[in-house]
Amino acid sequence: MQLTGRKIVITRPSDQQEEFAVMLSSLGAETVRFPVIAIAPPDSWDAADRAIEKIKTYDWIIFTSVNGVISFTDRLIALKKDLSETLNDIMICAIGLKTAEVVESHGLEVDFIPEEFRAEAVADGFIEMGSPGKNVLLPRAQVGRDILPKELIRMGMHVDVIPVYKAVRPDTDALRLKTMLRDREIDVVTFTSSSCVKNFLEIIGLDHYKSLLTGVKIACISPVTSDTVRKYGLNVDIIPDRYTVADLAGAIARHYAKF
């Protein structure tokens, strides 16, 4: 198999590692699970609760991540709202096939998935659908990129951005991983978000991460994540054509198949 003998680090949250680890293992890799972010509730639910109270005024809900779907629907359930009834008349946009899959697992229908699995492509899709003037609810991380809401507002849409979760850095013992990096035992480190990049480098040490990562391939799930890696002065070796963990695993395998 393409990845036999390769040791690959997974940095995504612990409760989201299993699927990716199984994929890499099926290709022959040995995985090192090293979660560098955890998902926590936002500092306040006030904005989300106000939006939920007037939920029928929205034409669209845009979910940009699996975490957004889970946190928002969990909040609806905590407020004793019936998901199907509450969201019945609202169109749903999901960025990414996995996000759409989680939406549908709640018995909800996805009306639009942009062809490119990144926020910027959503705006182009709404332009084609002729949606100026529509009211949009955007449940997302407490700290997120402003490109999408700015583009939607520029198009004439009314956008309410509500924090439904935040990414935090868990207490992590990095000694074993740093030893493996120093001993050049690690072949690839994978990143599935910019938060993973930032936290990983902070955990292994901002003073010497470059020396620790010498000779290590870096694999990123998307151009946005890759841009964050490059801002730290590192090269990106592997990016899939589509921004899913399945495609990331395939891209890593194809990279090593060349050798």
Predicted confidence (pLDDT) per residue in 42-54, tens digit: 999 999 999 999 9
Give the global pTM.
Answer: 0.81
Say what the pLDDT of residue 130 is: 72
User: In sequence order, what are the residues at sequence separation of 6 or more whose Cβ sits closer than 8 angstroms to the Cβ of residue 171?
Assistant: none
Say what the pLDDT of residue 65 is: 87
Q: What is the DSSP string of 33-50?
A: E----EEE--S--HHHHH
Say what the pLDDT of residue 129 is: 80
For residue 8, give both structure tokens: 């690959």
For residue 148, give both structure tokens: 């999408």
Say what the pLDDT of residue 117 is: 65
Can you say how many angstroms the Cα of residue 118 is from the centroid of all Cα atoms in its chain?
10
Where the chain has pLDDT below 50, the residues are none
Scanning 106-222, the segments in alpha helix (DSSP H) are: 119-129, 147-154, 175-182, 194-204, 209-212
Long-range contacts of 253-256 (CB under 8 A, 24+ apart): 253/2, 253/3, 253/27, 254/2, 255/217, 255/219, 256/2, 256/3, 256/6
User: In sequence order, what are the residues at sequence separation of 6 or more whose Cβ sits closer than 8 angstroms to the Cβ of residue 21?
Assistant: 10, 31, 33
Say what the pLDDT of residue 53 is: 96
For residue 253, give both structure tokens: 């395998």
Say what the pLDDT of residue 148 is: 86
Say what the pLDDT of residue 72 is: 97
Cα diameter, the chain: 58
Say what the pLDDT of residue 120 is: 67
User: In sequence order, what are the residues at sequence separation of 6 or more whose Cβ sits closer than 8 angstroms to the Cβ of residue 240?
Assistant: 221, 247, 248, 250, 251
Which residue is associated with the tokens 């008349």?
A: 89
Say what the pLDDT of residue 172 is: 84
